[in-house]
Amino acid sequence: MGQKSDSMLFLSLRRSRYKIFLLALLSCTVLVMLYHGGSVPLNPAPTGHGQGSAMWSGSASESASIDSADNTANVNCMYRWKDISALLASCSRETERDTCSRETERDRGAGVEGKTVPQTDKVYHSSAWERLWIDNIKTWQNHQICEALAQQQDQLKKFMSAMCSASTDTSWCLVDDTQSRFWYNTQTGEMNLSRPSSVTKVGPLGAVSPVMDPTIFSRFEWNDIDGTPRTEFIEPLVSHLRHPLAGCSDALSKKSVDLIINRSYIVPPPKVSKGRKFYFDAGASSWGEGAGGPSLSYFTKVWERHGIEFNRIDGWEGSTSKELFYCTVPNKYLLRTYFNQQWIASSVESSGVSSPFVPTVIRETTSKDDYVLFKLDIDSPAVETGTVDYLLSPDNDDLEYIDEFIWEHHVDNYIMQPFWGKAMDKTMTIADSYEYFLRLRRQGVRAHSWV
């Protein structure tokens, strides 16, 4: 009996240890899933990139939710911040952060060639549509923008048809910028917020990759080192430098669609072949929310559709705490995102430890062989124009570190006056904005007006 009791006790202890082992293993698995993007999508949908011929049947919300899975981790900030802060603290140094985020040499861009030619060797060509607006904007900016667009039906239809995010089994396509979406008929020019009844199949959301029309889309041209000619297209500078139909949607369609904060007019670059990819965002209060539409979720998702995934993301916003900001960041991007609760400076001279000058940060963090996206939108005209004037100055080469520049220029704009209010700089006009963006593009930078 004694030996039997001892054996039973031994088996009981082994079972207890086994249970403890399983519990520990389960806990580790949960932590790994939490820290490395293991959240389960609420709305699973077929994956895919590009506007291929493959179709799937489903509702409009299903087709447009392909990119929404990352946001499922942003639930209950109060409890999540404790785990996030512990994780960030354990990876406080940049070298540790890289290891923790498990970046591979491929992700870092090792062995990939850098910029093939200097930006200054790129030649910018305005499209015929853009030249029409350049020649007339000083007149049309005086309450005539929508009227001018109403006379440009052919250009508008060609532009809109090229910006579809997903094709369907009809002449309708879905236009999706991750925050807002609408349906566009490529034959009739109609727009609709709800899915047309004739649409039964919708393709996956993908890159904007149409055959670009040089009469509509502007372009950069240059020769590679081996002499191969290269061309990159970009959206034209037209209307009041937002979506062409922002505030004027009835100029094309009888059904008015609010496009004031729609970003579907922006043409991202083709897939970037060079090394590291950096994204600097001045005015980043939340990952997926914002009065004018969030930028972080937009650029990460839409650029990913074009094969570009950022290795590092830096953000600044003085009115948002780190706790509130990081609780909005999807698991996938936690360890590659660096948030600073700071107001940015307007010049090198006015900068300091607590108020950095972003061009200086970019120069000290990146190299000219990296891909760099810089978005500037802090609703402070003095800081914004001070930054842009510095970048355009011949006294420095900081603009050569930037490939993509996105900026909302708050000028005297009668369409945007109800939205901008005091942030509007009455000393500058829409024509002045045209001049700024033309100067940036003529120096080889893919400059986009923001919302």
CA–CA separation, 222 vs 91, rounded Å? 42
Answer whether residue 411 is part of any domain.
no
Answer whether residue 99 is part of any domain.
no
Domain that residue 10 falls in: 1-35
DSSP 370-414: SEEEEEE--S-HHHHHHHHHHHH-TT--GGGG-SEEEE---EE-T
Give me Rg for the CA atoms of the chain.
25
Answer whether residue 14 is part of any domain.
yes
- For 179-182, the CB contacts below 8 A with 24+ separation are 179/261, 179/263, 179/293, 179/294, 179/297, 179/298, 180/261, 180/262, 180/293, 181/60, 181/64, 182/257, 182/259, 182/262
Q: Which residues of 387-398 are buried (b: 16+ CB within 10 A; e: fewer)?
A: bbebbeeeeeeb
Answer whether residue 191 is part of any domain.
no
CA–CA separation, 260 vs 441, rounded Å? 24
Answer whether residue 260 is part of any domain.
no
Answer whether residue 29 is part of any domain.
yes
What total number of domains does the chain contain? 1
User: What are the structure tokens assigned to 63, written together?
Assistant: 């087709």
CA–CA separation, 107 vs 304, rounded Å? 13
451: closest CA among 180, 189, 66, 183?
180
Per-residue pLDDT of the chain (451 residues; tens, 9 = 90+): 444 444 444 444 445 554 444 444 444 444 444 444 433 332 333 333 333 333 433 443 434 433 344 444 445 676 678 788 887 877 765 555 655 654 433 444 433 344 556 666 899 999 999 999 999 999 999 999 999 999 999 999 999 999 999 999 999 999 999 999 999 999 999 999 999 999 999 999 999 875 678 999 999 999 988 889 999 999 999 999 999 999 998 888 777 788 999 999 999 998 887 689 999 999 999 998 877 779 999 999 999 999 999 999 999 999 999 999 999 999 999 999 999 999 999 999 999 999 999 999 999 999 999 999 999 999 899 999 999 999 999 999 999 999 999 999 999 999 999 999 888 999 999 999 999 999 999 999 999 999 9
Answer whether residue 4 is part of any domain.
yes
CA–CA separation, 202 vs 435, rounded Å? 40
Answer whether residue 275 is part of any domain.
no
